[in-house]
Amino acid sequence: MNSQPRAVLSMHDVMPATLSQVEDFLALCSSYAIPPMTLLVVPGCDWRHEQLDRLRELAGLGHELAAHGWLHRVGTPRGLYHRLHSTLLSRNVAEHLALDGEGILALMRRSHDWFAEHNLPAPSLYVPPAWALGDVARQSLTSLNFERVEVLRGVLDLRTAHLHPLPLVGFEADSGFRAASLRLWNSSQIGMARIFRQTLRIGIHPQDLNLRLGNSLRELLQERWRFISYGDAL
């Protein structure tokens, strides 16, 4: 039995404006001999032909393409919970929280359909921006063409409607408060993964290497993880 700790690695917010940073991160991972990862693509951006070609190339190299919202931004927060979530965690990206259940399902369908419309592999994974799924019934998600949905607590298998709790670390520390909070959070989550032999989810954002926890991210990636896919983690 392989006792090496397991991890899934995902790059969030893959969009035209971040592609150069994404490429830099992929080059770093290649230098660490990390296998292809999951790329969370934001469909509703203004994608140019050459950028779509690059996504097809990355998929051909083995990177899994997942759907990540539609525009990855929202205007005025809807309700008290959304305002608090925006202030403390998501800022203006949790677009699901501004929608009702039908609106969320429609957004997820549109996000999935975009890939086929642009000759890209159909995504089996959907990750709502800021991991905020919003007010939608779990049973209604089975009507979608995704196999799994990732939320803050873990990964929801839509074939069984079972949520698999998995620890999660992040490095989007653009302020002192966020850096301190994430250090504590990440330490607890890494400890949980190792003690209970759970798969660790490592969620990266394109600018993370240049933020306050960039060195911590590099150190984590160089540790002896066995990187697997989301499908293999369930």
Which pLDDT tens digit goes with each residue over 158-169? 999 899 999 999
pLDDT at 131: 93
In this prediction, residue 24 carries a pLDDT of: 97
pLDDT of the residue at 80: 42
Read off the pLDDT of each residue in 95-100 and give the average, rounded to a whole number. Answer: 90
Mean of the pLDDT values across residues 200-221? 97
Give residue 93's pLDDT.
Answer: 78
Q: What pLDDT is recorded for position 118?
A: 98
Summarize pLDDT for 36-95 with one digit per residue, the tens: 999 999 999 999 999 999 999 999 999 999 999 999 766 654 554 444 434 445 456 789
Count CA atoms within 13 Å of residue 181 on its CB side: 10
Q: How far is CA 78 from the centre of its chain?
A: 23
What mean pLDDT comes out for the span 196-208?
Answer: 97
Chain segment 15-30, per-residue pLDDT in tens = 999 999 999 999 999 9
pLDDT, average across residues 92-117:
93
pLDDT value at position 72?
A: 78
Mean pLDDT score across all residues of the chain? 92
Mark residue 19 as left, alpha or beta (left: phi above 0; alpha: psi -120 to 50; beta: remaining): alpha
What value does the mean pLDDT take over residues 90-115? 90
More confident residue, 78 or 127: 127
What pLDDT was estimated at residue 76?
A: 59
Q: Which residue has the higher pLDDT, 90 or 196?
A: 196
Q: What is the pLDDT of residue 86?
A: 47
| CA–CA distance, 44 with 74 (Å, rounded to integer) | 13
pTM above 0.85, yes or no: yes
User: What residues contact 102, with CB distance under 8 A and at least 6 apart?
Assistant: none
Paired sense of beta strands 154-157 and 162-165, if any = antiparallel
